[in-house]
Amino acid sequence: MAVTIQQIAEAVGVSRGTVDRALNNRGRINPEVAKRVQRAAEEMGYIPRNRRTKKGRRLRIGVVTQLAKSSFMLEVNRGIRDAAMQLEDRGAELVLKECLSVDENEQLTAIEALEAEGIDGLALMPVDCEGIRIKMNRMIDRKNIPVITFNSDIVGTGRSCFVGMDNRKSGRTAAGLMGMLTQGKGKVLVITGYFGNNVNNTRVDGFVEELKAAYPDLELAGVQGSFDNADEVEKIVMNTMQAVPDINGVFVVSGGQQGLERAYGKLGLAKRPYTLIYDLTPRNRRLLTQGTADFLIDQEGYVQGCQPPLILADMLQKGRRPEKELWYTNIDIKTKYNL
């Protein structure tokens, strides 16, 4: 619940009237007492009533996601739901628009719908294209609507900050794991989701860069797109492993990981390739525990969903700028032994 003047008064050991005077500059008050009250209000997260509304209504924080049906979004959406409850306690409202793809027009339509509803700030998983870049900058520069990107970022904009994984570093991390598993020799198949997804592309770039630098004898057998679809992952693995001998590593950058289990089963392999996947979803937990994958890289989807709306609320209600431009989430490496 929102912090009240009475709660601050009890914490500091003064009257409600003293707290009211200290926070609203009403009447004479001992400067030292005023500082104690103001410090307590800040620490307890008190939001003045006049900052809980804007032009006679509640503040509205818009959120736009992409790939809404992907398994990764389970944790992101859990974070968004928790952020919505916390905003409700702060007298603000979260308005969510979910996009099913990484299509520019679908995302522009979602953003424009939020503008029409009168949002005061926007948390966005941006599609990396010129139309979204222009739209973001117009909102920021002309309408004074702050924008925070999360999960995926976009250059050339005035966004306030980015919350998400350092995807290039995570790709390099995956290459290091694959190099150790294979002892730096053999062939690796890389399966991405959408080639238009900046997150996927950056992970692949980091993986390939580190592979070339640290494991030159580990050959890249190809990078193929699955559209985050398990049937496509299954087909890619089966076709590639039947056509290209000696593949001893498979790296799935995005969704559709369930196709690995089906493909390995149908191929009847005496020894499956070393396998790396992303995102700690319920299904991916099973892939680890049942031995379909060796390592899983998790990117704290919950944090990515929860933190951006709350940062925006701090900016709009408390005038508090983000402490840093890049809020990188942890690169967590999971095995069946540390789930």
Distance CA 44, CA 231 (A): 50
Which residues pair with residue 186 across a beta bridge? 218
86-101 as b/e: b if 16+ CB within 10 A: bbeebbbbbbbbbbeb
Model pLDDT, residue 9: 87
Low-confidence ranges of the chain (pLDDT < 70): 1-2, 25-27, 48-56
Neighbours of 174 (CB within 10 A): 28
Half-sphere exposure of 175 (CA within 13 A, CB side): 24
Q: What is 33-83 written as a DSSP string?
A: HHHHHHHHHHHHT---GGGSEETTEEEEEEEEES-TTSTTHHHHHHHHHHH
Distance CA 337, CA 166 (A): 25
87 alpha-carbon distance from chain centroid: 18
Model pLDDT, residue 45: 75
Model pLDDT, residue 279: 94
Distance CA 19, CA 128 (A): 48
Phi, psi of 159 (to 5 degrees): -60, 150
Distance CA 92, CA 113 (A): 18
Long-range contacts of 21-24 (CB under 8 A, 24+ apart): 23/48, 24/48
CB-based contacts of 286, cutoff 8 Å, min separation 6? none
Mean of the per-residue pLDDT values for the chain? 92
* Four-residue CA torsion sign, 53, 58, 63, 64: negative
Model pLDDT, residue 55: 55
Report residue 297 as tokens.
Answer: 């890289």
Model pLDDT, residue 26: 61
Count Cβ atoms within 10 A of the Cβ of residue 156 and give its class: 0-12 exposed, 13-18 middle, 19 or more buried: exposed
Distance CA 42, CA 37 (A): 9
Crossing angle of helices 230-243 and 258-267, rounded to 10°:
40
User: Helix H segments across 118-144?
Assistant: 130-142
Model pLDDT, residue 52: 52
Q: What is 246-301 written as a DSSP string?
A: TEEEEEE-SS-THHHHHHHHHHT-SSPPEEEEE---HHHHHHHHTTS-SEEEE--H
Long-range contacts of 9-17 (CB under 8 A, 24+ apart): 11/40, 11/44, 12/36, 12/37, 12/40
Report residue 159 as tokens.
Answer: 């966004």
Model pLDDT, residue 95: 98
Model pLDDT, residue 56: 58
Write out the H or E segment, with its range, that includes residue 18: helix 16-24
Which residues pair with residue 25 across a beta bridge? none
